[in-house]
């Protein structure tokens, strides 16, 4: 049994427990053991965080862009210097494999914060329009004020950083509310940044969404809310923010199609759709997971056979071992949800191609208390099934055959979601037509899950993104002399 450590909120430059002292347990999803406690914050803590962020705003927003850039470069250095520890905490906290957190996530954070530092100047660039002699139009970009970033559990450090870095670069002060299932890495970031950023510029408060985030969403002291999370939470936040007409950014779920044409290079497409896009990609717990695999009929059987072989080699177990290739489901609640879909798929009549098992039988004794589901592939030609339409957010995908490009487009767009899509083809014409016709925010061609631009969805995948411009608004002036 590991020693249980207590973590605190960061409010106004101080590390504080919840005002009423309440805590929540944090569970390692690979073992089921409690390994840390986090504050279960409430309305008093929400008010304190808003007050601290408001107090810090005039000085932070009034600072020259180069001053903010200096601070953000120091943050990047902190991430680089503490990458090993943060990667391990993130792995223990939410089950992302150490191979992901140490090799992909943390190096990416140093780049992200450095990039945000470089964008500080662009964040305050305005436009100048000449309306004729003696009449000049000017715009200036201004921060919103206090930004509340509400983040999910599946990738806390990356999501915290994407929101905080760009919002801070633009001159806002920030409050981050991590997800209760995986909070520790965010609170540790708060400890590390406490003396790096001026007090109140970045605040991190933990607890349940309805107890700590909701009062801040309603507060007139918060000027913009950026949520990365589920559609249900987005709807609650939209209603809660209505009274103060707050600007929102909603980065939500997906049921992304990954489309393999008959002319594709199957040596790339088979691992691409099986590992890069879904199963070993955080056990399918990624918003843009390619969970609907559309395969053109001439290569359907060949693809299924290759995917089955690749999936058979996926190893579950110790998340801190470099030999493990797939981790657990994040929590008992999410495990119940994902395993329910194993039954739903079978009851709906989808054919089980591989997988379908869950629980302790998949791992060694040391990990028997964790939340394990094996890579599972259903097959059907009926895209209306629940396993084809609903976001499962686990290692469960569905294969769907198609004949023509027209049919692929129709199937791909037949979803309430529009986050991302993958296209595998050797034909540039096919790739370009698909890029235009797919109703999603991102299209990857012959690759998947490489995020180079801010993610933004269509339809129920939400709107808004995490970029420096998205955290500013443009003020217009007309000067006549």
| Strand partners of residue 27 | 34
Q: Is 355 in the site for ligand NAD (CB under 6 A)?
A: no
Nearer to ligand NAD, 236 or 412 (CB): 236
The count of residues interacting with ligand NAD (CB under 6 A) is 28
Give the active site residue among 251, 391, 405, 456: 251
Nearer to ligand NAD, 278 or 363 (CB): 278
Which one among 94, 233, 324, 425 touches ligand NAD, defined by CB under 6 A?
233
Q: Is 230 in the site for ligand NAD (CB under 6 A)?
A: yes
What residue number has its CB nearest to ligand NAD? Answer: 209
- Residue from 375, 377, 381, 372 nearest 352 by CA: 377
Asked if 224 and 359 touch (Cβ cutoff 8 Å), the reply is: no
Q: Is 112 in the site for ligand NAD (CB under 6 A)?
A: no
Q: Is 45 in the site for ligand NAD (CB under 6 A)?
A: no
Q: Is 338 in the site for ligand NAD (CB under 6 A)?
A: no
CA distance 200 to 50: 9
83-94 and 156-169 helices cross at what angle (nearest 10)?
Answer: 130
CA distance 181 to 155: 11
Nearer to ligand NAD, 96 or 177 (CB): 177
CA distance 103 to 445: 23
CA distance 182 to 354: 30
Nearer to ligand NAD, 10 or 150 (CB): 150
Cβ-count burial 65-84 (b if 16+ within 10 Å, e if not): beebbebbeebbebbeebbe
Which one among 213, 273, 304, 398 touches ligand NAD, defined by CB under 6 A?
213
Nearer to ligand NAD, 119 or 180 (CB): 180
Distance of CA 115 to the CA centre of its chain: 18
Please confirm, yes or no, whether 405 is among the known catalytic residues. Answer: no
Q: Is 468 in the site for ligand NAD (CB under 6 A)?
A: no
Which one among 93, 119, 214, 223 touches ligand NAD, defined by CB under 6 A?
214
Site string for ligand NAD, 125-164 (x = CB under 6 A): -------------------------xxxxx----------
* Least distance (Å) between residue 104 CB and ligand NAD: 15
Nearer to ligand NAD, 152 or 422 (CB): 152
Nearer to ligand NAD, 150 or 434 (CB): 150
CA distance 209 to 151: 10
Site string for ligand NAD, 416-455 (x = CB under 6 A): ---x-----------------------------------x
CA distance 395 to 373: 7
Site for ligand NAD in 280-319 (CB under 6 A): 287
CA distance 112 to 99: 19
DSSP state of 150: E
Asked if 390 and 397 touch (Cβ cutoff 8 Å), the reply is: no
Site string for ligand NAD, 235-274 (x = CB under 6 A): -xx-------------xxxx--------------------
Query: Which residues, including other chains, have CB under 8 Å from residue 355's CB and lie 6 or more apart?
Result: 311, 373, 374, 375, 376, 377, 395, 396
Site string for ligand NAD, 167-206 (x = CB under 6 A): ----------x-xx--------------------------
106-118 and 65-81 helices cross at what angle (nearest 10)?
Answer: 170
Helix and strand counts by DSSP (H, E) for the chain: 16, 23
| Contact positions vs ligand NAD (CB under 6 A) | 150-154, 177, 179-180, 209-210, 213-214, 217, 228-230, 233, 236-237, 251-254, 287, 391, 393, 419, 455
The set of catalytic residues is 251
């Amino acid at each position: 049994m590991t020693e249980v450590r207590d973590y605190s909120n960061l409010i106004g430059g101080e590390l504080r427990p919840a005002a009423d002292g309440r805590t929540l347990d944090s569970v390692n999803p690979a073992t089921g053991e409690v390994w840390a406690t986090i504050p279960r914050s409430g309305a008093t803590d929400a008010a304190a965080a808003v007050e601290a962020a408001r107090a810090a705003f005039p000085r932070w927003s009034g600072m020259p862009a180069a001053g903010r850039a200096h601070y953000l470069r120091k943050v990047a250095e902190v991430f680089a210097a503490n990458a090993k520890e943060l990667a391990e905490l993130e792995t223990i906290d939410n089950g992302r494999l150490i191979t992901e957190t140490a090799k992909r996530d943390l190096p990416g954070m140093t780049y992200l914060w450095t990039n945000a530092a470089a964008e500080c100047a662009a964040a305050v660039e305005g436009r100048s329009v000449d309306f004729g002699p003696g009449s000049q139009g000017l715009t200036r970009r201004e921060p919103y004020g206090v930004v509340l970033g509400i983040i999910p559990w599946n990738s806390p450090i990356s999501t915290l950083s994407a929101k905080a870095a760009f919002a801070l670069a633009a001159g806002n002060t920030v409050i981050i509310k991590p997800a209760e299932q995986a909070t520790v890495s965010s609170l540790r970031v708060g400890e590390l940044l406490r003396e790096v950023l001026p007090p109140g510029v970045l605040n991190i408060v933990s607890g349940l969404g309805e107890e700590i985030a909701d009062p801040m969403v309603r507060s007139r002291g918060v000027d913009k809310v950026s949520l990365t999370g589920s559609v249900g939470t987005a709807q609650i936040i939209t209603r809660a923010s209505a009274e103060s007409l707050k600007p929102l950014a909603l980065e939500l779920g997906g049921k992304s199609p990954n489309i393999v044409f008959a002319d594709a290079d199957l040596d790339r497409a088979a691992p691409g759709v099986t590992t890069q896009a879904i199963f070993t990609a955080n056990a399918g717990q990624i918003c843009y997971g390619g969970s609907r695999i559309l395969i053109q009929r001439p290569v359907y059987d060949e693809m299924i056979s290759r995917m089955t072989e690749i999936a058979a080699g996926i190893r579950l177990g110790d998340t801190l071992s470099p030999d493990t290739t797939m981790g657990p489901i994040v929590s008992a609640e999410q495990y119940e949800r994902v395993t329910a879909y194993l039954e739903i798929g079978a009851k709906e009549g989808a054919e089980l191609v591989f997988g379908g098992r869950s629980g302790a039988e998949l791992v060694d004794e040391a990990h028997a208390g964790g939340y394990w589901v094996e890579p599972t592939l259903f097959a059907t030609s009926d895209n209306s099934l629940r396993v084809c339409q609903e976001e499962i957010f686990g290692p469960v995908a569905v294969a769907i055959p198609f004949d023509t490009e027209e049919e692929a487009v129709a199937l791909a767009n037949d979803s309430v979601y529009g986050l991302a899509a993958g296209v595998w083809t050797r034909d540039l014409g096919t790739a370009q037509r698909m890029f235009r016709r797919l109703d999603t925010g991102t299209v990857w061609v012959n690759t998947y899950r490489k995020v180079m631009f801010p993610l933004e969805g269509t339809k129920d995948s939400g709107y808004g993104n995490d970029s420096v411009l998205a955290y500013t608004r443009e003020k217009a002036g007309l000067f006549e002399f």
